[in-house]
């Protein structure tokens, strides 16, 4: 499988010689493996079970959000509101739990807040014909505002243990948050790569006008991708609140940008029609190991940001060079 | 040397595949050189070499005797070589004036645009190409044909020595072609050399002084236009005789399949009524902007219906969306293949399967096998020239792209086919194949509606032709009464 198996509406890549590997498609995988090898050799602790599980927990939130973001980006849209929706969903869940709502209902409320935000985005993009960047930018500000307004700006804490398990608990040796995010990514990969809905997502992103003319339900598809992105951000809010054992209005600031970066590193095009969940998984892992490696090497936090930015730049640069080369051939 | 342009032994290959082999051509001042050939014959590549987009592997190009080796498109433009592209390269959200003078806007000392001068100059250019639109109009509001004239105007405004017109008439109709001829005559008198690439042999004969035929990357024959006949030209192009250009089958019409009554779409057209029976081919003729495409799109549900009704096989059809129309057994293959018909970076099989995703799946899960099967069947049936159904459609020729669109239309087994400009940008060989296919679909009992700006095509294919002018259906002509004059006068005068 290649990383950028664009449009899984059947295989779309140009016919390749059977065993010839298109090297450029493997860039992210190679960089990822190189970093893993380097960290294994340069630190004693990287390959330890404890550290690997720590990476899994640390990346679980961005993984869940990036999963939803992948759907949106493949339609040629973007969801800038996910970070704020994580915070809002967390705060609302926290308030519900404080009001002694049963745990499963609390979780459902958190996800429901995400669904509501996603639905708002989707309806504005389709029926009002607004630009996704602007709509989700507005919702980003509104959701963040609500996250402060509802609890009066205060952090909410002190939940039941059963709830905190979602963020920090274990099943056997595995963190529950990690299992949830892995499950989201796998289900996402199946839906995107194998189902009719997935094929419609690629078609809408590939050429919206042609998709409409060929009978693909463009509006329904667009509403659904924003709804999925919102729902997963809501789920992210529940996980984060459980892990921190508190719901903070300032939580997850800038998270959407990391998630978008992961999707783009994974080979998705911001113009739509191209990308894959497998790519997103690799993008998330790459960001995860880089952050972990920088921590293990005690790199100053300011450098962490710089290096993250540089990695995104290089990933997109390779992609753009690769696209140019292919177009020329 | 009196040659304005001389190419000697020009060759070019891409990754080992030769696309131009030893091409030698000359253009003298005030001459129109026609270049014809099937898609993929190398015409466009040759023009890209001249325009500085591709570099030659071998051979020499001389411009007024001096060696010309463009390092990029900028060099070619500075040398006075202008290309009027087949793919329109304009800015839809800028004004007509800004499009004409893009890259050379008149400036004040502060670097701001001199609006007054820009508009005056633009109006002068518009008058030269005979385009009656406001210089301040947004390009988006113009029709395709009008945009093409804007692009020709842009070339005119740049003091061109050589103008390359790549399919300039692909979308122009009747009087617009006549006007273009006038514009070209004026340019010839000014001593400009013109290279005219077209699939419309009729126009090639009307406009060109000499005609070169290209095939498989070679220039296989050049003669003065008087030494060519249309048949001879087609034979050299495809290297095989074409016995019947329009294979018209004799089909007994069945029941009425589509009935349109007093149809209207706000400000686009109104009061359009006609019927098409099973096995019938009905053409819609008219000038660009007469509302033909809009009628098809409204029946299909891609434009809003504001009055009237549509009945399919006797049943009322409310065209709310293309999706519903497809379910009711109506398909539309759009005029603008690349913008509305195809997802260019997707594979042939992904494009063919787009209208039948549900049928190609089980419990919502796509079946790769069903998809490949459908695509392979279509490739065989329509003779789509490709190595595999995994090939990206953007790499296919115009004719093969059109076949992919047709294959998808056929995949929904519709009762009514609406084909908008089904052979635009399609080479001669593939055109005949498309005509044959249309005949077969009618013979199989479908009702067929065709919009085409190629009147000969409509006369050759249709049983009846409806003529539209300024948003109204002004007349209907039966095959027994077909004549070019009759239809043109209806289209122009009403």
Q: Which helix (H) or strand (E) holds B3?
A: strand B3-14
CB atoms within 10 A of CB B226: 9
Confidence of residue B42 (pLDDT cuts 50, 70, 90): confident
pLDDT of B148 over the 80 cut: no
Q: Which helix (H) or strand (E) holds B273?
A: strand B269-277
- Write down the pLDDT at residue A25: 60
Please count the residues of chain A.
329
Instruction: Extract the tokens encoding B60.
Output: 């020499």
Asked, for residue A173, whether it belongs to a domain, the answer is: yes
Top pLDDT among B367 and B114 is at: B367
What 8-state DSSP symbol labels residue A80? Answer: T
Q: Residue B431 in contact with residue B443, Cβ under 8 Å?
A: no
Instruction: Extract the tokens encoding A165.
Output: 């398990």
CA–CA distance, A322 with A306 (Å, rounded to integer): 24
* Cβ <8 Å between B372 and A195: no
Closest approach of A267 to chain B, Cα-based (Å): 15
Q: Which helix (H) or strand (E) holds A50?
A: helix A49-74
Sequence-ordered strand ranges (E) for A40-158: 156-157
Which phi and psi angles does B468 have, rounded to 5°?
-110, 145
DSSP string, B366-384: E-HHHHHHHHHHHHHHHT-
CB atoms within 10 A of CB A120: 20
B375 contact A CB<8A = yes
Q: Span B11-29, mean pLDDT?
A: 85
Q: At what angle do helices A82-98 and A132-149 cross, to 10 degrees?
A: 30
B413 contact A CB<8A = no
List of residues 6+ apart from B185 with CB closer than 8 A: none
Where does CATH 3.40.50.300 sit in chain B? 3-238, 256-329+414-493
Asked, for residue A169, whether it belongs to a domain, the answer is: yes
B293 contact A CB<8A = no
Confidence of residue B172 (pLDDT cuts 50, 70, 90): low
Identify all chain A residues contacting B388, using CB atoms and an 8 Å cutoff. Answer: 15
Q: Does the global pTM surpass 0.90?
A: no
Q: Which residues pair with B193 in a beta bridge?
A: B162
B358-374 residue pLDDT tens: 999 999 999 999 999 99
Q: Which helix (H) or strand (E) holds A246?
A: strand A246-247
Q: How far, in whole angstroms, is CA B285 from its chain's centroid?
A: 16
Which phi and psi angles does B72 have, rounded to 5°?
-175, 175
Which CATH code of 3.40.50.300, 3.40.640.10, 3.50.50.60, 3.40.50.10470 fits the domain covering B256-329+414-493? 3.40.50.300
How big, in percent rounded to 5, are the helix, strand and coil portions of chain A? 70, 5, 25
Contact pairs from chain A to chain B, CB under 8 Å: 125
Asked, for residue A48, whether it belongs to a domain, the answer is: no
CA–CA distance, B63 with B297 (Å, rounded to integer): 47
Q: What is the sign of the dihedral through the CA atoms of B383, B385, B391 and B394?
A: negative
- Write down the pLDDT at residue A15: 39
pLDDT of A289 over the 60 cut: yes
- Write down the pLDDT at residue A199: 96
Closest approach of B341 to chain A, Cα-based (Å): 5
Mutate to test the interface with A, among B12, B54, B350, B376 (most CBs of A within 10 A): B350
List of residues 6+ apart from B115 with CB closer than 8 A: none
- Candidates B314, B208, B288; CA nearest to B454 is B288
Confidence of residue B451 (pLDDT cuts 50, 70, 90): very high
pLDDT of B473 over the 90 cut: yes
pLDDT of B9 over the 50 cut: yes
CA–CA distance, B69 with B47 (Å, rounded to integer): 14
Maximum mean pLDDT: which of B71-80, B161-170, B485-494: B71-80
CA–CA distance, A235 with A253 (Å, rounded to integer): 16
3-state class (DSSP) for residue B344:
coil
Identify all chain A residues contacting B342, using CB atoms and an 8 Å cutoff. Answer: 207, 210
Asked, for residue A150, whether it belongs to a domain, the answer is: yes
User: What domain range is A173 assigned to?
Assistant: 57-254
Which phi and psi angles does B439 have, rounded to 5°?
-60, -40
- Candidates B57, B72, B18; CA nearest to B41 is B18
What 8-state DSSP symbol labels residue A195? Answer: B
Top pLDDT among B420 and A22 is at: B420
CA–CA distance, A326 with A308 (Å, rounded to integer): 27
Which of A280-289, B69-78, B467-476 bottoms out in mean pLDDT, i.e. has the lowest? B69-78
Give the residue on A whose Cα is nearest the Cα of B324: A215
- Candidates A210, A208, A195; CA nearest to A74 is A208
Give the residue on A whose Cα is nearest the Cα of B410: A214
Asked, for residue A43, whether it belongs to a domain, the answer is: no
3-state class (DSSP) for residue B418:
strand
The ipTM estimated for the assembled molecules is 0.83
Top pLDDT among B114 and A323 is at: B114
Q: Span A56-73, mean pLDDT?
A: 95
Architecture, CATH, for domain B3-238: 3-Layer(aba) Sandwich (3.40)
Instruction: Extract the tokens encoding B187.
Output: 């340019």
Closest approach of A179 to chain B, Cα-based (Å): 24
pLDDT of A304 over the 60 cut: yes
CA–CA distance, B445 with B417 (Å, rounded to integer): 11
CA–CA distance, A275 with A138 (Å, rounded to integer): 26
Q: Which residues pair with A156 in a beta bridge?
A: A247
Mutate to test the interface with A, among B299, B303, B347 (most CBs of A within 10 A): B347
- Write down the pLDDT at residue A2: 39
B392 contact A CB<8A = yes
DSSP string, B261-312: EEEEETTTEEEEEEEEETT-EEEEEE-TTSSHHHHHHHHHTSS---EEEEEE
- Write down the pLDDT at residue A277: 95
- Write down the pLDDT at residue A207: 94
Q: Residue B4 in contact with residue B64, Cβ under 8 Å?
A: yes
Give the residue on B whose Cα is nearest the Cα of A216: B323
pLDDT of B75 over the 70 cut: yes
CA–CA distance, B174 with B184 (Å, rounded to integer): 16
CA–CA distance, A63 with A82 (Å, rounded to integer): 12
Q: Residue B122 in contact with residue B96, Cβ under 8 Å?
A: yes
Mutate to test the interface with B, among A1, A196, A205, A213 (most CBs of B within 10 A): A213
What 8-state DSSP symbol labels residue B360? Answer: T
When the pLDDT of each residue in chain B is averaged and rounded to a whole number, the result is 87
Please count the residues of chain B.
494
CA–CA distance, B491 with B474 (Å, rounded to integer): 8
Closest approach of A129 to chain B, Cα-based (Å): 16
B71 contact A CB<8A = no
Q: Which residues pair with B8 in a beta bridge?
A: B60
Q: What is the sign of the dihedral through the CA atoms of B27, B31, B37 and B43?
A: positive
B343 contact A CB<8A = yes
* Cβ <8 Å between A10 and B391: no
Sequence-ordered strand ranges (E) for B348-434: 361-362, 365-366, 416-420
Confidence of residue A173 (pLDDT cuts 50, 70, 90): confident
CA–CA distance, A32 with B334 (Å, rounded to integer): 45
Tokens 């609390």 belong to: A106
Give the residue on A whose Cα is nearest the Cα of B54: A328
- Candidates B198, B215, B165, B167; CA nearest to B19 is B215
Instruction: Extract the tokens encoding A247.
Output: 């719901």
A80-89 residue pLDDT tens: 999 999 999 9
Identify all chain A residues contacting B401, using CB atoms and an 8 Å cutoff. Answer: none
CA–CA distance, B89 with B96 (Å, rounded to integer): 13
List of residues 6+ apart from B421 with CB closer than 8 A: B171, B335, B451, B452, B453
Domain count, chain A: 1
Q: Which residues pair with B263 in a beta bridge?
A: B272
Closest approach of A115 to chain B, Cα-based (Å): 23
CA–CA distance, B358 with B59 (Å, rounded to integer): 54
């Amino acid at each position: 499988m290649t990383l950028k198996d664009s449009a899984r509406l059947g295989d779309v890549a140009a016919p390749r010689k059977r065993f010839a590997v298109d090297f450029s498609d493997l860039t992210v995988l190679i960089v990822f493996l190189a970093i893993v090898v380097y960290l294994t050799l340069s630190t004693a602790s990287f390959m330890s079970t404890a550290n690997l599980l720590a990476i899994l927990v640390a990346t679980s939130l961005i993984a869940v959000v990036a999963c939803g973001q992948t759907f949106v980006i493949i339609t040629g849209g973007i969801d800038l509101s996910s970070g704020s929706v994580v915070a809002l969903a967390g705060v609302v869940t926290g308030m519900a739990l404080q009001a002694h709502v049963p745990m499963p209902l609390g979780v459902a409320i958190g996800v429901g807040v995400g669904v509501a935000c996603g639905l708002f985005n989707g309806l504005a993009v389709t029926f009002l014909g607004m630009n996704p960047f602007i709509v989700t930018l507005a919702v980003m500000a509104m959701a963040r505002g609500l996250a402060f307004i509802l609890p009066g700006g205060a952090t909410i804490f002190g939940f039941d243990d059963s709830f905190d398990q979602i963020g920090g608990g274990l099943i056997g040796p595995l963190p529950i948050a990690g299992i949830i995010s892995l499950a989201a990514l796998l289900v996402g990969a199946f839906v995107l790569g194998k189902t009719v809905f997935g094929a419609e997502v690629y078609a809408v992103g590939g050429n919206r006008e042609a998709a409409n003319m060929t009978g693909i339900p463009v509006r329904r598809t667009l509403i659904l991708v924003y709804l999925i992105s919102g729902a997963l951000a809501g789920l992210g809010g529940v996980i984060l609140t459980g892990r921190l054992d508190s719901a903070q209005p300032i939580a997850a600031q800038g998270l959407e940008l990391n998630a978008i970066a992961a999707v783009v590193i994974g080979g998705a095009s911001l113009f739509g029609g191209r990308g894959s969940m497998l790519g997103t998984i690799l993008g998330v892992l790459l960001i995860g190991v880089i952050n972990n490696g920088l921590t293990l090497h005690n790199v100053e936090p300011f450098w962490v940001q710089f290096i993250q930015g540089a990695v995104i730049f290089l990933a997109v640069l390779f992609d753009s060079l690769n696209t140019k080369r292919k177009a020329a051939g | 040397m009196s040659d304005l342009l001389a190419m000697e032994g020009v060759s070019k290959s891409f990754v080992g595949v030769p696309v131009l082999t030893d091409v030698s051509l000359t253009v003298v001042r005030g001459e129109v050189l026609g270049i014809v050939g099937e898609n993929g014959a190398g015409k466009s590549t040759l023009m890209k070499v001249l325009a500085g987009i591709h570099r030659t592997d071998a051979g020499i190009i001389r411009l007024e005797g001096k060696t010309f080796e463009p390092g990029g498109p900028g060099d070619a433009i500075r040398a006075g070589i202008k290309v009027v592209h087949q793919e329109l390269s304009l800015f839809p959200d800028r004004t007509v004036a800004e499009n004409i003078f893009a890259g050379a806007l008149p400036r004040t000392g502060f670097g701001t645009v001199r609006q007054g001068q820009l508009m005056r100059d633009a109006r002068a250019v518009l008058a030269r190409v005979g385009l009656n639109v406001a210089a301040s109009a947004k390009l988006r509001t113009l029709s395709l044909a009008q945009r093409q004239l804007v692009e020709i105007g842009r070339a005119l405004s740049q003091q061109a020595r050589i103008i390359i017109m790549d399919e300039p008439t692909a979308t122009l109709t009747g009087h617009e072609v006549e006007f273009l001829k006038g514009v070209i005559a004026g340019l010839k008198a000014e001593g400009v050399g013109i290279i005219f690439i077209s699939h419309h042999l009729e126009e090639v004969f009307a406009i060109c002084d000499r005609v070169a035929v290209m095939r498989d990357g070679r220039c296989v024959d050049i003669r003065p236009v008087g030494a060519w006949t249309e048949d001879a030209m087609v034979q050299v192009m495809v290297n095989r005789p074409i016995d019947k250009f329009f294979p018209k089958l004799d089909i007994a019409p069945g029941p009425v399949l589509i009935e349109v009554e007093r149809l209207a779409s706000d400000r686009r057209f109104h009061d359009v009524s006609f019927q098409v029976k099973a096995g019938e081919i009905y053409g819609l003729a008219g000038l660009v902007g007469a509302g033909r495409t809009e009628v098809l799109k409204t029946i299909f549900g891609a434009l809003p219906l504001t009055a009237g009704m549509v009945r399919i096989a006797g049943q009322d059809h409310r065209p709310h969306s293309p999706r519903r129309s497809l379910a009711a057994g109506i398909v539309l293959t759009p005029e603008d293949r690349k913008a509305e018909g195809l997802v260019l970076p997707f594979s042939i099989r992904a494009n063919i399967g787009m209208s039948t995703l549900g049928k190609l799946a089980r419990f919502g899960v796509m079946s790769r096998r069903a998809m490949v099967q459908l695509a392979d069947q279509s490739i065989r049936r329509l003779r789509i020239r490709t190595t595999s159904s995994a090939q990206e459609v953007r790499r296919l020729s115009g004719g093969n792209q059109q076949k992919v669109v047709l294959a998808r239309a056929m995949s929904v087994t519709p009762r009514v086919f609406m084909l908008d400009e089904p052979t635009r940008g399609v080479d001669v060989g593939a055109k005949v194949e498309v005509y044959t296919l249309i005949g077969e679909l009618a013979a199989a009992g479908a009702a067929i509606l065709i919009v085409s700006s190629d009147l000969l095509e409509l006369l050759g294919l249709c049983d009846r032709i409806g003529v539209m002018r300024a948003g109204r259906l002004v007349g209907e002509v039966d095959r027994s009464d077909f004549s070019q004059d009759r239809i043109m006068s209806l289209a122009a005068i009403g």
